[in-house]
Structure 1
Amino acid sequence: MERQQKAYKGVIDYFKKKIMDGELRPGEKLPPERDIAERLNVSRNSVREAIRIMDMTGVISSQQGSGNYITCEFQKSLAETMTMMFAMDQIDYKQISQIRQALECLAFSLAIEHASEEQIKEMESLVKELDKSTDDVKNAALDKKLHFMLAQSSENILVLDFLEACSGVIDSFIHDMRAAILRTEERKKLLNECHKKLIEALKEKDETKGQEALKRHFMLINEILEERENRKI
């Protein structure tokens, strides 16, 4: 058993080196399991175990009937890890909210320098659409897309991946959270005012104004969630 464990780790190390040396790039297909086993002198079971682990951690994507491809989608493993931590009570929503706030504040700081005019216009359009919409499901989707675009415009893949992982945990365990927060017209108006100030701050490159808008935004969300939790007790 110990020998098999060392064997599959050797397979993982082999592909890790190939990726780090630039010999394997995202989108490239791995050789068949039999070829890998023969090349590395290990059993096919060891190769399968290595592929399973690399798939779980987002290094590769296993496509039924097609093969295994290098993807390097590490956000997938981040989301799965955080989801399991939440499920086993290792983290709670308050901690996720704290991380989200810190990361979104960083995303805004970076977006001031990196957001394109097109990205800012699209975020502005989402805010306007959210103002007009009366559909709970649509409102939740608009809100999610707006925050995704802010993270994306930071041009920092780690910020984007961690925020997407946080968002995945929220969607998995607090299914109707976004819709519930935006359900009443008063709450939607208050949160969208924060969104508007955030976009204004981006356009004006005003760090203080943007950070204040985000602080207010998360204060409102946390107040609403505390109310929901208190009603359950």
Structure 2
Amino acid sequence: MALSPQTQTARAWQLVLEHVESDLLDGRLQPGDRLPPERELATKLGVGRSSVREALRVLEVMGLIRTGTGSGPSSGAIIIATPQGGMSALLRLQVAAQGFPLDDVVRTRLVLESAVVDALAAESGRDTTPAHTILHAMDAADLTPREFLALDAQLHQALAEASGNVVIAAMMAGLRTAIESYVQAGAEGISDWDAAAERLRHEHRAILGAVDAGDAERARTLVHDHITGYYAEAGLSRRIE
């Protein structure tokens, strides 16, 4: 079966990410080194420049590179940190996660994200403003499925970071590539995307509402149903309980 353009694009940016991560972990890239231009990386790896930009965005969020526009010594992508300790483990998890069984990734999400919403609901002082900002951005009517689901991933990561548990936040970040792979691929199995997107918006609002209201039990139930419901609707496998 031929891969759809959406699936090919998703896998392409992961290929770029893994290439750069491998050079970082093996010491072929060091702080101060400049990554090849987007066009050169795209040609070398046989991917589109948009895939290169997506991979660089992830690396920048992780604090490993700095990107500049225009020309001159500050332009392009420059390595600003060498992965050490926990960051090195996080990068290795990113790479290893590509081979994890899908069911195991989903079950791990259930454990981690249930803990996230439980912690958030238990402490009223936790700041969920970033999650609400992302949720508002997801209301835009002109989002493509890929754009919508990229925001979806950011929303779940924002909640993990707001929980205050740095280990869970790091694990969620480490699994991000594997999670986005199946979520993006799953969109192809949904016949009525507009209806599905509206349902996902409703579920996200309900989860945040329960968290902000301090209702941990409801938040855990909602996040469980949210994750397993999408997994089943997309036809990826049976519903996981």
TM-score range, shorter chain: 0.5 to 0.7
Which of the numbers 162, 175, 179 marks the counterpart of 1:166? 175
Q: Indicate whether 1:79 and 2:88 are aligned.
A: no
- The correspondence of residues 153-232 of structure 1 with structure 2, limited to 5 A, is 153-171=162-180, 173-174=181-182, 176-177=184-185, 180=188, 184-225=193-234, 227-228=235-236
What are the ranges of 5 or more consecutive residues in structure 1 without an aligned counterpart?
Answer: 1-52
Q: Indicate whether 1:140 and 2:149 are aligned.
A: yes
Which of the numbers 161, 170, 180 marks the counterpart of 1:152? 161
Tell me how far apart the structure 1 counterparts of residues 236 and 223 of structure 2 sit (CA, whole Å).
21
Query: CA offset at residue 69 of structure 1?
Result: 5.5
Residue equivalent to 1:62: 30
Q: Is the 8 A contact 1:127 1:196 kept in 2?
A: yes
Amino acid at match of 2:154: K
Name the structure with the higher helix share: 1
Q: TM-score, normalised by structure 2?
A: 0.58
Query: CA offset at residue 212 of structure 1?
Result: 1.4
Amino acid at match of 2:92: S
CA RMSD of aligned residues (A): 3.5
Q: TM-score, normalised by structure 1?
A: 0.60
Tell me how far apart the structure 1 counterparts of residues 200 and 79 of structure 2 sit (CA, whole Å).
46
Residue equivalent to 1:101: 110
What are the ranges of 5 or more consecutive residues in structure 2 without an aligned counterpart?
Answer: 1-21, 35-77
Name the % identity. Answer: 13
Q: Is the 8 A contact 2:206 2:222 kept in 1?
A: yes
Higher relative contact order (CA 8 A, sep 6+): 2
Q: Secondary structure at the match of 2:138?
A: helix
Amino acid at match of 2:30: S
Tell me how far apart the structure 1 counterparts of residues 134 and 148 of structure 2 sit (CA, whole Å).
10
Q: Is the 8 A contact 1:127 1:192 kept in 2?
A: yes
Amino acid at match of 1:169: A
- Count the aligned residue pairs: 169
Residues 1:222 and 1:166: Cα distance change in structure 2 (over 3 Å): same
